[in-house]
Amino acid sequence: MSYYDGIAKKWHEITGFRGGAFKRLVLNGFLLDRIPDIAGWAILELGAGNGYFMPMVLERFSGQTPERFVITDMSSKLLHIAQRSFRIPEAEYRQVDVRAGFPFDSGSFDLILATMVFNEVSDSAMKKALSECRRVLGETGTLLLTVTHPRFVESLHRRGETRQDRNGLLTMPAADGIRLPIFRRSQERYEAMLRRAGFMFESHDVHALPEVLREKPGLRSAGNVPLALVFRCRIAR
Ligand SMILES: C[S@@+](CC[C@H](N)C(=O)[O-])C[C@H]1O[C@@H](n2cnc3c(N)ncnc32)[C@H](O)[C@@H]1O
């Protein structure tokens, strides 16, 4: 059973149809603005959670028909929720653990979305996942990878808000008292791992807007650190 199988119902409640305040008011739009097109594309989403994001992609690009959609997560319960709550009839739903080989042919995708999933896996798992992303992406494909910002994670850690659960897993607080797995990894480490996997990229810090802080005043104690780090990656030539 995956960690999220145990919190799937709660995660779905707090994520809802648009994500929590930060995703709803900032991150979703930021990511959508970095997807140029979807007509004829094959799109893979890793760690899709309750699956709310892909319908937003379709809505943004309404009128464009992708060739293939694959929505994946390691948690069978979340995948079930995704199919029940945000079902896209043409989409494939697959249980995929990014720590293992992906069950897809090489060069079969134009876009891979991975939002807040790689910050939950160890370095060795992330190395494997990046090499699989590299393998299944076509030569001109894009990996849009978002992680909880390392500076935000460090700020939580400094303030004593991370802790190890009884299985030794480091967790951080999230909405409504739930805790999420987190790996402490610097931005430089992410960048080195991306380069080693054969990607070139641009990176962006994404901050909370004042509206987010009004809804989530607890975030103010992190100071002015960005909440998310987005890498828009292409295969290096
Ligand atoms: C913080 S949630 C983010 C979900 C979604 N991307 C979103 O932004 O709402 C992390 C997701 O990654 C999934 N996940 C964690 N470890 C994973 C792994 N090894 N392989 C695939 N999915 C994983 C969890 O089940 C969960 O759905």
Q: Is the pTM of the predicted complex or chain greater than 0.75? A: yes
Q: Of 45, 46, 44, 50, which is closest to residue 18 (Cα–Cα)?
A: 50
Res. 237: pLDDT tops 90: no
What average pLDDT is seen over the chain? 97
Q: Where are the domains of the chain?
A: 3-150+186-235
Ligand 1: centre distance to CA 45 (Å): 10
To test the pocket of ligand 1, the residue of 30, 120, 130, 153 to mutate (highest count of ligand atoms within 8 Å of its CB) is 120
CATH classification for the domain delimited by 3-150+186-235, as one of 3.30.465.10, 3.40.605.10, 3.30.56.10, 3.40.50.150: 3.40.50.150
Ligand 1: centre distance to CA 93 (Å): 14
Name which residue sits closest to atom 24 of ligand 1, judged by CA.
47
Question: pLDDT tens digits for 74-112?
Answer: 999 999 999 999 999 999 999 999 999 999 999 999 999
- Ligand 1 atom closest to the Cα of residue 148 is 1
Question: pLDDT tens digits for 110-150?
Answer: 999 999 999 999 999 999 999 999 999 999 999 999 999 99
DSSP the chain: --GGGGGHHHHHHHHTTT-SHHIIIIIHHHHHTT----TT-EEEEES-TTS-HHHHHHHHTTT---SEEEEEES-HHHHHHHHHHS--TT-EEEE--TTS--SS-TT-EEEEEEES-GGGS-HHHHHHHHHHHHHHEEEEEEEEEEEE-HHHHHHHHHTT--EE-TTS-EEEE-GGG-EEE-----HHHHHHHHHHTTEEEEEEEEPPPHHHHHH-GGGGGG-S--SEEEEEEEE--
Ligand 1: centre distance to CA 24 (Å): 17
pLDDT at 166: 87
Ligand 1: centre distance to CA 31 (Å): 17
- Ligand 1 atom closest to the Cα of residue 78 is 27
Any idea which residue has 């303030």 for tokens? Answer: 159
